[in-house]
Amino acid sequence: MAHAVNEGSYLTNPKGWKSWLLTLDHKRIGIMYLLFIVISFALGGFFALALRLELLSPAKIIFTAKQYNQLFTLHGAIMVFLFIVPSIPASLGNFVMPLMLGAKDVAFPRLNLASFYIYVFGAIFCVYSMISGAADTGWTFYTPYSTTTNTSVISMTLGAFILGFSSILTGVNFIATIHKMRAKGMNWFRMPLFVWALYATAIIQVLATPVLAITLLLLILERTIGVGIFDPTIGGDPVLFQHFFWFYSHPAVYIMILPAMGIMSELVTTFCRKNIFGYKTIAYSSIAIAIISFLVWGHHLFVSGQSDNAATIFSILTFLVGIPSAIKVFNWLSTMYGGSINLKTPFLYFLSFMVLFCVGGFTGIMLGALSLDVYFHGTYFVVAHFHYVMMGGTVMAFIGGLHYWWPKMFGKMYSEFWGAVACFFIFVGFNMVFFTQFILGAKGMPRRYFNYLDQFQPLHAFSTMGTWVLGLGFLIMAFYLIDSLINGPPAPANPWGGMTLEWHTQSPPVTHNFDVAPVVDHDPYDYRRIDG
C-alpha cells in the first residue's frame, strides 16, 4: 500500500451513490456542501436579478408591492442563511482544513455528516416557505411586523433555526479538529492562516448561533401561542428583538468574512511565492476580531430608540473592530513586496477583494460614526456598504478559493483565459450595481422601497443594468467550470507551487488523504527553504 496509485481518488473510491450519501469522508461532505451552496447562491442571485428588474422603473413592471417585498426577503434570507454563512467553512473549509493539518479526517466524521443533513433539512423549510406564501419581513424578521404579517414567517425562521444547528456542529467539529488532529510537528504557529481563520470563525459559530436559535424560537412562540416577548400589544418590546437578533447577526458578519480573510492569506503567499508578512499579527487579529465582534451589535440600533450612552459605547467598539481588518489589508499588500507574482485567476480575485474590501471598510468607518449613521441608516448607502464587504469581500474570496483548490478537489484544470474574462465582468458589473447605490443612499434613497421618486430613476436603472453584467460573469464561470470537469486537462499535485500540506498529496487526493503521515518541521509559508 506504500504507493497505491491504482487505488484512485476519493471521488471514485468507494463507488456508488450510496457511498456518497453515507460518506464520512470530509472531502466528499465538503463537495456535497459545495453543490448545495452553489445552488443556493444561484437561487439567491436569481431573486436579486428579479428584484433589480422591478426597480428599473419607479412604476410597477412585473411584481406587486407584496411580491417585491417577498423577493428581497428571500434574496436576503437565502444569501445569508443558506449561502454565505456556511459557504467557505462548510465547503472549502471541510475539504481543505484536515488536509492542511495533515490529518486523515475531521475529529468527528459522523457529526460532520449529521451537520450536512441538518443543513439540507433546514433548507427544505426555507424552500417550503418560498412556495407557501413566502415571508415578506426582510431577512431581519423585525417585530412586530414579523409577528403580525400573514405570510409564512414560521417556516422561514424554523429553517434558519435548524440551519443554526448545522453551523454550531461544524464549529464544534472544527475546534476539536484543530486542537487534536494536527500533524506531528505542526504547532499552532505552523498552521496555515486559513486554519487560524476557521478557528476564529468556529468560536463565533459556537457562541453566537445559540442566541439566534433562542430568538427565532421566541418569535415562533409569539406567533403561534401568543407569548408576549416582542409584540407590545401583548406586553413585549420590539427593540428587545433587535438586540437579540443583532447579538447573533453582527458576529455572524465575521463568520462570513473571517474565512474569506483566511483564503486571502493563502492566495497571497502562494501566488507571490513568498512568506506571509506578519504571520502572528494576522493570526492574532483574527482572534481579536472574533472577540470584539461580540460587543458591537448595538451599532445597528443607533436610531432605534436605544439609549444614547449605549450608542456611544457601541460606536467606540465598532471603530476598534475595524483596526484588525485594516492591519490585515496592509499585511497582504506588504507580502507582495519582493515576491514573484503569478497572475493566475485566483490571484485576480485576491486583487478584486483588496479593492472592494477597502471600499467596504472605508464606508464602514463612515457608518460607525454616530452622526453619519443617523443619516445613512436604512438607506441604499448601507445596502451598498454591506454588499461591498459581503460580496466584494467574502464572495470574491470564496470564488478565489474555489479556483485555487479546484484542481485539488476535482483533479482538473480550467481555462485561465475564460477565468480572467469572467472576473472582469464580475468586477465591473459589481461596481456598476453597488457603487451607484452609495450615491443613491447619500442622496436619501431609502432601502426596501418598491416604488421610488422619479428623480432616482437614472441611478436605479444603471444599477439594474449592472446586475446583467454581473450575471453574465457568473454565467461564463459556470460554463468554463463545468467544461473543465468534462474536458479539463488533468491537474498535477501542486499546480500553483503551494507550500501548505494539501499540495503534498495527489490531485484529487486519495480517500485517506496521505499515503505517509506528514511531519512538519518548518513554517507554513517558508519559501526560502526551497527557493534559497
Q: Which residues, numbered 400-439, are part of the site for another protein (CB under 8 A)?
A: 439
Q: Any contact of residue 187 with another protein (CB under 8 A)?
A: no
Q: Any contact of residue 521 with another protein (CB under 8 A)?
A: no
Measured in whole angstroms, how far is the alpha carbon of residue 236 from the centre of its chain? 33
Give the number of residues written for the chain: 532
Q: Any contact of residue 462 with another protein (CB under 8 A)?
A: no
Q: Any contact of residue 531 with another protein (CB under 8 A)?
A: yes
User: Please, what is the minimum distance in Å from the beta carbon of residue 412 to another protein?
Assistant: 23
Q: Please pick, from the candidates 114, 291, 326, 461, the single residue that binds another protein as defined by CB under 8 A.
A: 326
Q: Please pick, from the candidates 27, 75, 223, 273, the single residue that binds another protein as defined by CB under 8 A.
A: 273
The C-alpha angle with vertex 21 and arms to 18 and 23, in degrees rounded to 5, equals 95
For residues 325 and 345, give the distance between their C-alpha atoms in angstroms, rounded to a whole number.
24
Q: Please pick, from the candidates 4, 61, 310, 365, the single residue that binds another protein as defined by CB under 8 A.
A: 365
With CB under 8 A as the rule, give the number of residues binding another protein: 94
Q: Any contact of residue 370 with another protein (CB under 8 A)?
A: yes
Strand partners, 490: 412
* 38-69 b/e (C-beta count within 10 Å ≥ 16 → b): bebbebbbebbebbbbbbbebeeeebeeebbb
User: Please, what is the minimum distance in Å from the beta carbon of residue 265 to another protein?
Assistant: 13
Residue 326 CB neighbours (<10 A): 14
Q: Please pick, from the candidates 24, 366, 461, 493, the single residue that binds another protein as defined by CB under 8 A.
A: 366
Number of C-alpha atoms within 13 angstroms, CB side, residue 160? Answer: 34
Say whether 486 sits in a helix, a strand or coil.
helix
For residues 364 and 388, give the distance between their C-alpha atoms in angstroms, rounded to a whole number.
10
Of the pair 6, 371, the CB lying nearest another protein is at 371
Q: Any contact of residue 305 with another protein (CB under 8 A)?
A: yes
Task: To the nearest 10°, report the CA torsion of 430, 432, 438, 442.
Answer: -160
Cell numbers for 110: 459522523
Q: Any contact of residue 7 with another protein (CB under 8 A)?
A: no
Residue 409: partners with Cβ closer than 8 Å, 6 or more residues away: 27, 30, 31, 34, 95, 508
Q: Any contact of residue 323 with another protein (CB under 8 A)?
A: yes
Q: Any contact of residue 237 with another protein (CB under 8 A)?
A: yes
Q: Any contact of residue 448 with another protein (CB under 8 A)?
A: yes
* 222-245 b/e (C-beta count within 10 Å ≥ 16 → b): bbeeebebbbeeeebebbebbbbb
Q: Any contact of residue 19 with another protein (CB under 8 A)?
A: no
User: Please, what is the minimum distance in Å from the beta carbon of residue 153 to another protein?
Assistant: 13
**Contact region for another protein (CB under 8 A) — 5-13, 162-170, 231-239, 410-418?**
231-239
Residues numbered 467-486 forming contacts with another protein, rule: CB under 8 A: none
**Contact region for another protein (CB under 8 A) — 18-26, 253-261, 370-378, 505-513?**
370-378
Residue 79: partners with Cβ closer than 8 Å, 6 or more residues away: 40, 41, 44, 48, 139, 390
User: Please, what is the minimum distance in Å from the beta carbon of residue 69 to another protein?
Assistant: 7
Residues numbered 278-297 forming contacts with another protein, rule: CB under 8 A: 278-281
Q: Please pick, from the candidates 4, 316, 420, 475, the single residue that binds another protein as defined by CB under 8 A.
A: 316
Q: Please pick, from the candidates 207, 327, 413, 461, the single residue that binds another protein as defined by CB under 8 A.
A: 327
Strand partners, 386: none
The C-alpha angle with vertex 128 and arms to 172 and 18, in degrees rounded to 5, equals 60
Q: Any contact of residue 444 with another protein (CB under 8 A)?
A: yes
Q: Any contact of residue 133 with another protein (CB under 8 A)?
A: no
Of the pair 458, 490, the CB lying nearest another protein is at 458
Of the pair 15, 280, the CB lying nearest another protein is at 280
- If you search the block for the grid coordinates 446586475, which residue do you land on? 467
Instruction: Respond yes or no on whether the N-terminal peptide bond of residue 89 is cis (omega within 30° of 0).
Output: no
Q: Any contact of residue 343 with another protein (CB under 8 A)?
A: yes
Q: Any contact of residue 177 with another protein (CB under 8 A)?
A: no
Q: Any contact of residue 23 with another protein (CB under 8 A)?
A: no
Of the pair 115, 331, the CB lying nearest another protein is at 331
For residues 300 and 376, give the distance between their C-alpha atoms in angstroms, rounded to a whole number.
11
Q: Are 208 and 294 in contact (CB under 8 A)?
A: yes
Residues numbered 42-81 forming contacts with another protein, rule: CB under 8 A: 64-66, 69
Q: Any contact of residue 349 with another protein (CB under 8 A)?
A: no
φ, ψ for residue 134, nearest 5 deg: -50, 145
Residues numbered 92-111 forming contacts with another protein, rule: CB under 8 A: none
User: Please, what is the minimum distance in Å from the beta carbon of residue 352 to another protein?
Assistant: 11
Q: Any contact of residue 451 with another protein (CB under 8 A)?
A: yes
Sign of CA dihedral 149, 154, 159, 162: positive
User: Please, what is the minimum distance in Å from the beta carbon of residue 532 to another protein?
Assistant: 8
